[in-house]
Structure 1
């Protein structure tokens, strides 16, 4: 934004937060509306049935309005960073309530994670797609469909490795040890280090997809153009990376017990 636009937006925040000006509130919502819609697009979800893209956009707007109403400009945090979490959370919460992923698919993904862990332990390295298919008895198409489902479900999971990836990649803030429980701080750092180690062990192509998706905030379609592959293929690579992260992190936790 230009300096003039920055000043204008700042004046709207002051009018709304200091004086309760509802017209300023309306203008703030309209100003940040493209950001909310962009977040829906960046998630690359493929909703079906009642959960169409328009429905997800409406949930994004609900998250945006909530963010505008609860934001405090005096705390020194950029509104876009604050609102992004609210908008994303509202959309993902809506999809979780719809429970769009069939139970059988969830069970198949769980079985695939266990198989991948067993195969990695046996080989001492990341197995190839063909090796996974041979081990599990899945066809290539069945395996690719499960990778896509894992990619989508990871975005909805409350404890998804994708969420851990984002947390690990965020700029590290100087901790306020007076405000944070020292034990919690140590545990959080240990988890971040474990995630960083697991990410570093991923194949280069999978690390690249994660970086482009979470750091650069590109869509699967945009990443596909960069890599010269289809959008569906990027979704599969993302799903495989998340699958490996979850498997690796689980093994780290079990080894530490």
Structure 2
């Protein structure tokens, strides 16, 4: 894997360690919103790998994979920190939906229907569904939900950057998964199907739409509405 002058053979090393990039990308994306593309993380990770090849020094006494892992993760985190996952306007609309869902759940003791949510928000059903389409790609956890009093990147650092070395984060994640499973079971039946097909079976919107006999836009709406309901439940957790 090294050239005649003792430097790493870039092409051979890129080929050998590209699976490491993919593995790190898949580990990281499990903590991120659905609108973050795995291919984007892999592409940025490959840039990090290439950077690691140029900076690695065998005299440092560190294995290349350990060094490369740090550079790859760093490149991915830099990309995520610089990304605007969701516009402020859409985020505000998402929170308005969540507030309406929470209020109606307290009143009715059940998951409110779309028409009830629309009425609570003071809009027509069509307008409400249009809003659900606009906020597509929303996540269960926003960065600002997890940052400290002074802001910053604590969520990424704690839950994404080096979760293997943080037993508390692992415990919290385990508890959150249990809470999430319980919350999904309380969703309306059709929304349960959407979440199951999207996250458990890795089906895209078009495939889910075909199964349910609806449009892709409708699946997007159901997904956004499910996320709003789940965020209300997880906030209680």
Tell me the TM-score normalised to structure 1 length.
Answer: 0.58
- Separation in structure 2 between the aligned mates of residue 184 and residue 34 of structure 1, nearest angstrom: 23
| Residue 155 of structure 2: aligned partner | none
Query: Displaced runs of 4+ in structure 1, greater than 4 A?
Result: 26-36, 43-46, 56-60, 67-70, 72-75, 85-94, 183-186
Q: State the shift of 1:123 in Å.
A: 0.5
- 5+ residue gaps, structure 1, are 1-14, 47-52, 161-175
| Residue 143 of structure 2: aligned partner | 158
More helix by share: 1
RMSD over equivalenced CA pairs, Å:
4.4
Between Structure 1 and Structure 2, how many residues are aligned? 196
| Residue 226 of structure 1: aligned partner | 211
Q: 1:44 to 1:188 in 2, by over 3 A?
A: closer
| Residue 115 of structure 2: aligned partner | 130
Q: 1:236 to 1:87 in 2, by over 3 A?
A: farther
Deviation sequence 1:78-135 (CA, Å, 0-9, x none)? x9xxx9x999867755542xx662x333222212211110001101100111111122
Q: State the shift of 1:199 in Å.
A: 1.4
Instruction: Summarize the alignment of residues 1-257 of structure 1 with structure 2, pairs less than 5 Å apart.
Output: 15=1, 20-27=8-15, 45=35, 60-66=42-48, 93-96=81-84, 101=87, 103-154=88-139, 157-158=142-143, 181=167, 186-250=171-235, 252-253=236-237
Is the CA contact 2:133–2:217 (under 8 Å) kept in the aligned structure 1? yes
Is the CA contact 1:224–1:231 (under 8 Å) kept in the aligned structure 2? yes
Q: State the shift of 1:33 in Å.
A: 10
Tell me the TM-score normalised to structure 2 length.
Answer: 0.62
Deviation sequence 1:33-53 (CA, Å, 0-9, x none)? 9999xx9xxx8759xxxxxx9
- Separation in structure 2 between the aligned mates of residue 212 and residue 44 of structure 1, nearest angstrom: 13
- Separation in structure 2 between the aligned mates of residue 219 and residue 60 of structure 1, nearest angstrom: 19
Is the CA contact 1:151–1:242 (under 8 Å) kept in the aligned structure 2? no
- 5+ residue gaps, structure 2, are 53-62, 146-163
- Separation in structure 2 between the aligned mates of residue 57 and residue 105 of structure 1, nearest angstrom: 24
- Separation in structure 2 between the aligned mates of residue 61 and residue 243 of structure 1, nearest angstrom: 31
